[in-house]
Structures are given as structure tokens and as C-alpha cells.
Amino acid sequence: MESSPQRLNDQLKQVLRLRRSQKTSIFLVCVVIASLFWLLNAFSKDYATIVDLPVRYTNLPEDQVLTSELPQQLAVELRGYGFDLLSYLLGTADDTLVVNGNDLISSRKNPNTVLYSTRPLFERMAGQLNPGVQLKGILTDTLRFRVEERITRLVPVKANVQLQLATQYLEAGQRLIDPPVIELSGPRSAVVQVREINTEVLQLDNVNADVKQQLALEIPSGSNRFEMKPSNVALQIPVDKFTDASIDLPVTVENLPESLSLNLIPDTVTLNYQVALGRYSEVKHEDFRLVVDFAEFNEKHHKKLRVRVEQSPAFISNPSLAPKKVEFILKR
């Protein structure tokens, strides 16, 4: 019997909580209904408001570049009922202001400036807005743009490649870029400063086969009005396993007076080099030329002449001579 009062107390508390919860729910429903009525009343009224509309440019002059920033939006004043203006306020309307480059006129005060009156733009847009929306005006009456002569020139392409070859492999020939030059057009003052166009960075590790890659070109700094044709190039780098090789070659004497004769000791020098296995058989004696320059001879200080490689095949690498200097016997 002692637990009956406790049960009664708990039931009373539960009933009170339920009533409070019901009152709260009723209150929230009333707030939502009132808000909806307020919104319906508000959006049924006539308003004037200012919104930003996107801008698109057409028929821009081909022989000139607009070097100033082109506005991507223009502020306009609209009038209409709230419901009709809602898509503009939310930025979901499809209307776009179209600036026609044929309507640009040169400034009389500054030959490097062109002007665009927004009056024709206002007249075209006035009848294109959503039903119930009226265009009252464009807040900017005249757009001003700086212009510069457009030029086009050929610019060489430089491949930005970081190549890590696998052990016992080397580049087996020249790197080929196709095309090696591209057309760059833009403002004259910026185009003439560009000496080369870099590709995007290509980083390859442990390479043991030919590289064939399409690379995008990086837009040069100096202007945001550059145009490039094409915008990417093909890069080829031949890669092959290499072998160490050597060849014994005669040495030619240069700048020796006719009244003198010179005997080199030794008269042949060994050239050590590395070559791709696939091109080993292409190495020929006649593709090399080793020389010493008698003009370097100094009777007091030089008793040997330095040998240098004046000619060698482009596809060999890491050439080294043994010996690097030769003795000689001079006869007068």
C-alpha cells in the first residue's frame, strides 16, 4: 500500500509533461501558420529592388584586346511583385545581359579606351524579363575598357620534365616536342616579352621505356588575355638500356705554322662513352673528331697539349678521353 501514492505522483507528472508538450506543439504550428500568412502578404506587394545580373560578351574586336577587367555582373533596378522578383533575389533567373562588341565606340579623349553605352542594353532587356518584372534601369550608364593592339607570333615550347632513369638506362636520342613552336596571341606589349612557353611539369621516376606524353601548356605570366594554339603538345623521349664502349681515334693538330711539324705521343687517344644498345652499331669512326690546338702551346709552361672532342654523335653520352693530354715532339 505504501507504493500507491508514489505511482499516483508519477502519473500526475507524466500528464503534466504531456500537456506542456501539446501546448508547445500547438504554439509552433501557430508560429508557422502566421509566418506563412506574413510571407504571402509580403510577396503579394509591389517592390523595387536592385540585383546583379550576369554579363556575356559577344563580337569582341579581333584586332584588339580588351586589357581591363570585364565586368561579369551589372547592377540593375527591377520592379514587380515579390513572387515575380523571387527568382532574381535568389539568383536563379536565367536572364543575361549581352554586351555586343559591335556597339563599342572609341574614346575621343584617349585612343586606348573604348566606351559602351548601356542604353541599347536596357532597351533589349526591357522586354525579355520574366512576366510581371519591369526593368527600371541599369545603374552603370557607360562601360569603359582599355584596349591594345592584338598581335600573334610563334614562340618555342620548352618541356618541363623531371626524369629519373632506371639503373643502366639512358636517353637514347633527342627529346621531340610536336609542335616545337606554337602561336601566341594577345596584347602587343605582353606578347613581345614572351621568349618561350613552358609545358606543365612532368615528373617520372625509374623510367626504363620510351616516354610518350601529351602535355598541357602553361599560360605565360604578364597578361590574362593570352591565347595559345594549340594548347598542348606531344612529347617523346627515347629511352634504352645502355652499354659502355670505347673507340681509338687519331688526333688532329690545329693552328700549326707551316714552318713547324709536330709529332704527338701518343698519336691516338681512347674515347670512352655510353651508348644505347639499339644504336651501338651506328657508331662510326668518321663521326668523331679529336683535336689539339697548337695556339695553346706555351714553351715555358706547357709541355703537353689538351685534347678536346670537337665532333661526336649526338646519341652517345658521358664521353671521356684517356689520356686527356698528350706529349709532343716539335720540329722546326
Task: State in Å, rounded, how far the first CA of the chain is from the last one.
Answer: 143
Cα separation, 240 vs 167, in Å, equals 11
Cell digits of residue 70: 570585364
Q: For residue 220, which of 235, 187, 198, 189 has the smallest C-alpha distance?
A: 198
> CA distances (Å), 159 to each of 131, 152, 177, 212, 238, in order?
56, 21, 8, 12, 14
The alpha-helical segments, DSSP class H, found in 156-314 are 188-191
In the chain, the domains with their CATH numbers are 46-140 (2.170.120), 151-237 (2.170.120.40), 243-331 (2.170.120.30)
What are the tens digits of pLDDT across the range 215-231?
999 998 877 889 999 99
Cα separation, 17 vs 24, in Å, equals 11
pLDDT at 127 over 80: no
Residue 1's pLDDT band (cuts 50, 70, 90): very low
Higher per-residue pLDDT: 37 or 252: 252
Q: Against a cut of 0.95, is the pTM above it? A: no
Give the other-Cβ count within 10 Å of 88's Cβ: 21
Q: For residue 279, which of 171, 166, 177 has the smallest C-alpha distance?
A: 171
Residue 160's pLDDT band (cuts 50, 70, 90): very high
pLDDT for 181 equals: 97
User: In the predicted model, what is the mean pLDDT of residues 200-215?
Assistant: 94
Higher per-residue pLDDT: 176 or 53: 176
User: In the predicted model, what is the mean pLDDT of residues 64-86?
Assistant: 82
What are the tens digits of pLDDT across the range 300-332?
556 789 999 999 998 898 999 999 999 888 887
pLDDT at 262 over 70: yes
pLDDT for 153 equals: 95
- Give residue for cell 689538351: 306
What are the tens digits of pLDDT across the range 144-157?
989 999 999 999 99
Q: Is 96 exposed, middle or buried (0-12, 13-18, 19+ CB in 10 A)?
A: exposed
What are the tens digits of pLDDT across the range 169-193?
988 888 999 999 999 999 999 999 9
pLDDT for 7 equals: 63
**Please, what is the Cα angle at 113 between 109 and 118, to 5 degrees?**
100
Cα separation, 222 vs 188, in Å, equals 11
What are the tens digits of pLDDT across the range 100-126?
888 888 887 788 889 888 888 888 887
Cell digits of residue 254: 690545329
Cα separation, 273 vs 238, in Å, equals 18
